[in-house]
Amino acid sequence: MSNRYQPIDCHLYDYFEIACMYHYDVKLDLLDDSTLEGKCINTETQPDKSEWLIFKTEFQYTKIRLDFITRMSSITPGAKFSVIECEKSTS
């Protein structure tokens, strides 16, 4: 796997923004086949243009690069989405 950031499609980024705006609890499936559960806090863009999710697990805050996330599933009842499949941008 390359360490170079692969931008995600804009419509997928919108779902991360919604999850952060409402502080949804979600389950994230990652490229390395691991999973994390926690609360979406915010997104940020680094100077190298990589985009990150600030995420709060039960014990700590962490940052996850958006192109490492393969699926985001909402755990919050009544959320505006249930499962988002995160494909890499084709642009």
What are the structural domain ranges in the chain?
10-76
CB atoms within 10 A of CB 13: 16
For the chain, residues with pLDDT lower than 70 are 1-2, 87-91
Please state which CATH number belongs to domain 10-76: 2.30.30.100
How many residues would you count in the chain?
91
State the pLDDT at residue 86.
86
State the pLDDT at residue 91.
45
State the pLDDT at residue 66.
96
The C-alpha atoms of residue 21 and residue 5 are separated, in whole angstroms, by: 24
